[in-house]
């Protein structure tokens, strides 16, 4: 993992050369900017809460659960299985699948495969949307 060691940007312009270089490092090399101040457990808790809220909204809008409660259940089921970087894992997909399609085991195998692939796509879109929403507020 690569990290940018500059704590403050020389310009607050979001399209500055510095910002583009940092985004390139973050996206191409998987790097993360160092925070300007030490983070506390309260900062992590607030960020987790903000991410879960954004994820519930994105899950509701992209995965089309039967209701808002179902969207909350889906996110709660998926969240412990997300990868270290907040990415979808096979276990997370399985957890979402069990919430979205609880009776899927009665379907033909071909339909299960097809619908699971669609659930994987919508779950990844929801995660990407939630990650963007949280990144925009950092």
pLDDT for 36 equals 59
Contact 115, 104 (CB under 8 A): yes
Q: What is the mean predicted confidence (pLDDT) over 18-43?
A: 71
More confident residue, 30 or 53: 53
Q: 């583009």: which residue's tokens?
A: 20
Per the DSSP assignment, residues forming a β-bridge with 4 are: 33
pLDDT for 4 equals 46
pLDDT for 108 equals 95
- Of 61, 122, 45, whose CA–CA distance to 88 is shortest? 122
Query: Long-range contacts for 24-31 (Cβ within 8 Å, ≥24 apart)?
Result: 29/2, 30/1, 30/2, 30/85, 31/1, 31/2, 31/3, 31/4
Tens of pLDDT, residue by residue over 60-113, are 999 989 899 999 999 999 999 988 777 788 999 999 989 999 998 899 999 999
* 3-class state of residue 128 by DSSP: helix
pLDDT for 3 equals 47
pLDDT for 118 equals 92
* 3-class state of residue 87 by DSSP: coil
pLDDT for 35 equals 56
pLDDT for 58 equals 94
Q: What is the mean predicted confidence (pLDDT) over 34-63?
A: 82
Q: Is the pLDDT of residue 124 over 80?
A: yes
């Amino acid at each position: 993992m690569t990290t940018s060691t500059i704590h403050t940007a020389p310009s607050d312009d979001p399209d500055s050369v510095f910002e583009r270089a940092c985004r390139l490092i973050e996206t191409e090399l998987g790097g993360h900017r160092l925070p300007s101040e030490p983070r506390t457990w309260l900062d992590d808790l607030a960020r987790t809460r903000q991410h879960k809220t954004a994820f519930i909204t994105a899950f509701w809008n992209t995965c089309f659960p039967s209701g808002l409660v179902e969207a909350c259940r889906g996110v709660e089921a998926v969240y412990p299985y997300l990868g270290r970087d907040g990415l979808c894992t096979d276990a997370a997909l399985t957890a979402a699948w069990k919430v979205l399609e609880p009776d899927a085991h009665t379907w033909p195998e071909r339909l299960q495969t097809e619908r699971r692939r669609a659930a994987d796509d919508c779950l990844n879109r929801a995660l990407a949307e939630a990650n963007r929403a949280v990144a925009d507020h950092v």
